[in-house]
């Protein structure tokens, strides 16, 4: 694929990711994606076999990027792993406020919407969540020796973050994320090996 084609494909994926995160699958149309990305509808069909295939690719791409960003923040944040966990929640709160509560988890809106209606997209979101848990589990081994306990902590971190995003968006307040961060750091400290 030439450089221009790669750029067009990436713009389409990026615009789709933003729209899916903000308004969900059903409310996002190909015309809107084309407008946001600066691409033609024909370009969308050139790279993707319709809206579902585009949404699946976007979920996987934005999920991988978000997972990498969180792990990078954990690995390059404070040297104390408990403090690093708190930093993730504080950064999530700051990012959400900066986005005027529009941009939280890149896949949660779609995951909730399609869980019972579209198995292709449900599977894509499930695989992204699974990858996040695996990445967090590996990182949590810095705190917890037992692999099962590390996985349990990873699941607690992810589910707490996701729930806090929902509350923060609904309340238009960073406090749910900040409070969740304080809770997770207390849990992590209690589990520390």
Could you list the beta-strand ranges (E) of the chain.
none
Distance CA 91, CA 168 (A): 13
Query: Minimal CA–CA distance to 13: which of 31, 23, 48?
Result: 48
| pLDDT tens per residue across span 112-148 | 999 999 999 999 999 999 999 999 999 999 999 999 9
CB-CB neighbours of 155 under 10 Å: 16
| pLDDT tens per residue across span 51-109 | 999 999 999 999 999 999 999 999 999 999 999 999 999 999 999 999 999 989 999 99
**Structure tokens, 89:** 């929640």
30-59 burial code (b ≥16 CB/10 A, e <16): beebbebbebeeebbeebbeebeebbbbbb
Give this prediction's pTM. Answer: 0.92
Distance CA 142, CA 60 (A): 27
**Structure tokens, 28:** 């996002």
Is the separation of the CB atoms in 23 and 109 below 8 Å? Answer: yes
Contacts of 68 (CB under 8 A, 6+ apart): none
């Amino acid at each position: 694929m030439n450089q221009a084609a790669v750029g067009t494909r990436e713009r389409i994926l990026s615009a789709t990711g933003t729209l899916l995160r903000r308004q969900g699958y059903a409310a996002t149309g190909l015309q809107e994606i084309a407008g946001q990305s600066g691409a033609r509808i024909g370009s969308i069909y050139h790279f993707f076999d319709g809206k579902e295939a585009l949404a699946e690719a976007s979920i996987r791409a934005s999920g991988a990027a978000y997972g990498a960003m969180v792990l990078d923040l954990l690995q390059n944040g404070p040297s104390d792993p408990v403090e690093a966990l708190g930093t993730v929640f504080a950064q999530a709160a700051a990012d959400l406020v900066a986005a005027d509560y529009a941009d939280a988890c890149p896949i949660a809106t779609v995951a909730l919407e399609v869980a019972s209606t579209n198995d292709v997209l449900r599977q894509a979101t499930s695989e992204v969540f699974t990858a996040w848990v695996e990445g967090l589990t590996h990182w949590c081994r810095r705190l917890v020796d037992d692999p099962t306990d590390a996985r349990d902590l990873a699941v607690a971190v992810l589910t707490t973050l996701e729930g806090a995003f929902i509350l923060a968006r609904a309340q238009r307040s960073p406090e749910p994320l900040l409070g969740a961060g304080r809770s997770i750091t207390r849990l992590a400290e209690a589990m520390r090996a």
